Amino acid sequence: MEYTVQKLGLLAGVSTRTLRYYDEIDLLKPARINSSGYRIYGQQEVDRLQQILFYRELGVSLEEIKEILNSPTFDADQALREHREKLLERRAQLDALIANVDLTLAQREGTKTMSDKQKFEGFKQKFIDDNEAQYGEEIRAKYGSDLVDKSNQKIKGMTEQEYAALEQLNEELHETLAQAFATGDPAHELAQKAADLHRQWLSFYWDSYSKEAHAGVAQMYVDDPRFTAYYDKEQPGVAEFLRDAVAIYTSK
């Protein structure tokens, strides 16, 4: 089985930017580049990515992971057993990952079969769990548990085409927002385009859209320092600019 960077990203629950970065730092190279210039990943790369994600869940740095996986003494079976021991210590949070490790070990021992999709199901669930731990209380209090639960189900059931479109939309949003911010005018055509792209981006996660909720999310980007830091990492003030652009967009 072979995968493009978008297909592997969807399978593993990681962004294409992450996979490209792993390629740049020689942590996870594609098996080959096809005639169209696309990265192509095979079974060996799928299994290596699974190991990378196991180590990342255990807090190991990318540099250390690279050294471990490239070591001539690296033993994949032993590494899986070590992963399982450490994950058991965090069982309350990581039950889905532990089941994933158990199934991987069973596959390597030849007692069970495991699809490539199954190898990453635990990681997708962990992504949702992490978001819940970090933002869940605020989001549920503001918008209700029903909306959040439906959003989580949409993430789990996202198709390859939806994932690819979401990745492209996210890149376009940030590029447009950067261009709009340079104008200094949240009412500018570019700023309003960014607000509309933000609406489209939210719609991938939301079961239904409302202007009130859209404006509320944009306000939260300013009120919550975690979101502010994300949007302001390139240029201070971007979070406030997006909030103001959305406020104008949703007032129409």
Which two tokens mark 31? 């098996």
Q: What Cα–Cα distance (Å) separates residue 18 from each residue in 76, 99, 139, 193?
A: 23, 25, 26, 26
Which two tokens mark 10? 């969807």
**Nearest Cα to Cα of residue 33 among 17, 51, 45:** 45
- Listed in order, strand segments (DSSP E) in 79-175 are none
One-letter amino acid for residue 11 of the chain: L
pLDDT tens for 52-69 read 998 888 778 898 899 999
pLDDT tens for 71-116 read 999 898 888 888 877 766 666 555 666 666 777 778 788 887 777 7
Q: Give the integer Cα–Cα distance in Å for 124 and 156.
A: 7
pLDDT at 30: 96
Of 234 and 223, the one with more pLDDT: 223
Phi/psi region, residue 4 (left: phi>0; alpha: psi -120 to 50; beta: rest), is beta
The distance of Cα 195 from the centroid of its chain, to the nearest Å, equals 22
pTM of model > 0.85: no
How many CA atoms lie less than 13 Å away from 223 in the CB half-sphere? 10
Strand order in the sheet with 32-33: 3-4, 39-41, 32-33
Name the phi and psi angles at 3, rounded to 5.
Answer: -135, 145
Look-up of token digits 């669930």: 125
3-class DSSP string for 101-123: HHHHHHHHHCCCCCCCCHHHHHH
Residue-averaged pLDDT of the chain: 86
**Residue 205 · residue 154 · CB < 8 Å:** yes
Q: Give the integer Cα–Cα distance in Å for 54 and 48.
A: 10
N residues, the chain: 252
pLDDT tens for 126-157 read 667 777 776 677 777 776 787 778 877 777 77
